[in-house]
Amino acid sequence: MKMLILRGLSGAGKSTWAHAQEGAFICSADDTHINPDTGAYEFDPTRLPEAHNACFVKAWDACHRGEPLVVIDNTSVTRAEYTPYVMMATAHGYAVELVVVDTPCGVAFTRNTHGVPEQGVANQSENWEARAPYDPEERVVNGE
């Protein structure tokens, strides 16, 4: 069993990469922003805590069921954002890998479909934290 925790700027191509993983059970905070009536993405910043909680619960349930491949599709810019998933996966006996979807800031901004402003993408880039030596290994994939 394996958990892949994606890291990347908004618009980097994380969701595209996640959906290309055969058999992946994908957990994303973005799912909470999908309008169930229209299927349209409607970002509401006031719902971010709810969105991240729902993503975490979905991942927990997937691990508890023993899904063979769980993919966390969030920006995970800081260690504080991805560490709870590392702990969850480890507690459930999953191997964990961090996957950085590497895309230049300007490219990510032009591609992001969630309306993150240019300064928001730049802030993600500026706030990026490198993995700590005790964190899982990190693989970099090209998001372009």
Total structural domains within the chain? 1
Please give the average per-residue pLDDT across 76-92, as a whole number. Answer: 97
CATH number at residue 119: 3.40.50.300
User: Between vectors from CA 12 to CA 10 and to CA 13, what angle results, nearest 5°?
Assistant: 115
Q: Distance between CA atoms of 75 and 48, rounded to whole angstroms? A: 13
Q: Categorize the per-residue pLDDT at 41 as very low, low, confident or very high, splitting at 50, 70 and 90.
A: confident
**138-142: strand order across its sheet:** 25-27, 69-72, 2-7, 95-102, 138-142
Question: Residues of the chain with pLDDT > 70: what percent?
Answer: 99
Percent of the residues in the chain that have a pLDDT greater than 90, as a whole number: 69
- State the average pLDDT over residues 16-43: 89
Residue 89 phi/psi, 5° resolution? -60, -45
> Alpha-carbon distance 28 to 109, whole Å?
19
Check if the beta carbon of residue 118 is closer than 8 Å to that of residue 67: no
Q: Which residue segment(s) compose the domain that 137 sits in?
A: 2-142
Query: Which one is predicted more confidently, 86 or 115?
Result: 86
CA-CA distance, 77 to 98, in Å (whole number)? Answer: 11
What is the amino acid identity at position 111? R
User: For tokens 């920006």, what's the residue?
Assistant: 75
Res. 143 pLDDT band, cuts 50 70 90: confident
Please tell me the predicted confidence (pLDDT) of residue 48. 84
Mean pLDDT of 55-70: 98
Q: What is the pTM of this model?
A: 0.92
Kindly tell me if the per-residue pLDDT of 144 is higher than 80.
no
Least confident of 15-19, 97-101, 133-137: 133-137
